[in-house]
Amino acid sequence: MSRSALAVLARGLALVALLVLSPARAARQRPNVVLILTDDQDVFLGGMTPMKKTNALIAQMGVTFLNAYVPSALCCPSRASILTGKYPHNHHVVNNTLEGNCSSKSWQKIQEPNTFPALLKSMCGYQTFFAGKYLNEYGAEDAGGVSHVPPGWSFWYALEKNSKYYNYTLSVNGKARRHGENYSVDYLTDVLANMSLDFLEYKSNFEPFFMMISTPAPHSPWTAAPQYKNSFQNVSAPRNSNFNIHGKNKHWLIRQAKTPMTNSSIQFLDDAYRKRWQTLLSVDDLVEKLVKKLENHGELDNTYIFYTSDNGFHTGQFSLPIDKRQLYEFDIKVPLLVRGPGIKPNQTNKMLVANIDLGPTILDIAGYDLNKTQMDGMSLLPLLRGDKNVTWRSDFLVEYQGEGYNGSDPTCPGLGPGVTHCFPDCVCEDSYNNTYACVRTMSTSWDLQYCEFDDREVFVEVYNLTADPHQINNIAKTIDQEILEKMNYRLMMLQSCSGATCRTPGVFDPGYRFDPRLMFSNHGVRARRFSTRSLSSI
């Protein structure tokens, strides 16, 4: 064959290669996304303090959201909100039980096919990887066991049930794999790190990827890696102004806590606080390994990394020893750090953001049309890019349906039926009528929280966080009546919102319109409380 013929053939082959490879090449140019989700990591009480590497590698290289919240301060409803981009009243996961729709057959049928990872895989061509805790009842026999792999995941390494560090079962693409208590091969945080590094090593290089790594830390039982068991020996829980005080003028569940706390309760919560920090050091190592791997593969500059938690936590506030589930800042406020393409280093952002925004943001990064979704959240991408004149929300909804036993708790028979998570000194952290909904609002005028309980009292709590950041003084009886009426109306609207109607102007936005007549319609707030109907009707 002549040299000219060879040249023509070479040009032809190059053209064919270009035509064949260009879609993959175009896909490969889309950013990768990593979402690291911790379990019960607060930000209000110093939960990010031990995360030196994470702060250096994500926060200092990107943006820290100073006002990031969850719409429900409990693992399963919060995780469902992350996956669906919806408020609990729209995804119907109300607590950590199968009866509360946590990983139930109803959840699997109705919500899972429409989660953002499912859309990333089916509509955006992303390879998707999950490792760690999914939903608290995942793997339950009545919900299909560990053989159930939710739609949308190319690689699935999910923990059966709730957080553990040793002696657990993973679903490895639908097959059960049992782990024991040998640190070198079984410590779950390290196992998740190693699985993540293996994925990055062996994944396809012709598709963008999404990774969700969901660690057990710092959830109980707070089992630290051996090398960290002696860390923070001089650390105790913060003694801030709402520590070990009586929750006067609050819902009865808060008022029932005994003040002052017993010495044994204080010792217990201090010990838990230290152990929580110890478990986080392994998460810090995971972040470092992941960032180094991405850098070594030349993919760090094209990868967004999100770091957040499913809810906050309290240790002694209003004399409640340890838990979450309450409406206060220490339980609903979470860390949110993001680095990635186009994000300037060492940035902070004060906008009011929520975990329902994560799904829309990641789909927006992938180039998906958000108008095709029914998500309640907003894309953070304009904030990440530093766009000017961004129209943003001034409020969002917090909602929770309390849990309780039908019978009396043996530790606290005097409180009667309906309480749960009780301590030996008869302080209970939850109850059936710990069922509430709040509007959390931030504007130039107010830093305010308005809450209503679905109980016989129809109890109301209101806090001005500008004057009272620790939410000690309930001002429901002294605040201007017009503000109360507007907040009550706004709560009604948010409790019945869906999709775009969840993003309408808040009470203190210029575009807000208040019609008092609607407060007395048949669509009032109490009609919108969580229903006790069976899940089969959802």
SS3 state of residue 208: coil
SS3 state of residue 38: strand
**Cα(312)–Cα(180) distance, rounded to whole angstroms?**
29
Q: E strands along 89-183, which residues?
A: 127-133, 155-159, 168-172, 175-179
Is 502 annotated as catalytic? Answer: no
The one-character DSSP state at 157 is: E
**Cα(90)–Cα(468) distance, rounded to whole angstroms?**
32
**C-alpha angle 328-332-338 in degrees, rounded to nearest 5:** 145
Sequence-distant contacts of 18-26: CB under 8 A, at least 24 apart: 24/206, 24/207, 25/206
Of the listed 75, 422, 428, 438, which one is catalytic?
A: 75
**Cα(195)–Cα(189) distance, rounded to whole angstroms?**
10
Bond from prior residue into 221 cis (ω within 30 degrees of 0): yes
Instruction: Give the number of other CB atoms < 10 A from CB of residue 422.
Output: 20
**Cα(395)–Cα(448) distance, rounded to whole angstroms?**
9
Q: Are strands 322-323 and 336-339 parallel, antiparallel or unpaired?
A: unpaired
**Cα(452)–Cα(487) distance, rounded to whole angstroms?**
10
Instruction: Give the number of other CB atoms < 10 A from CB of residue 298.
Output: 8
SS3 state of residue 96: coil
**Cα(279)–Cα(332) distance, rounded to whole angstroms?**
21
Amino acid at 406: N
Residue closest to 171 by CA, chosen among 192, 148, 196, 146: 146
Q: Are strands 168-172 and 155-159 parallel, antiparallel or unpaired?
A: antiparallel
Instruction: List active site positions.
Output: 75
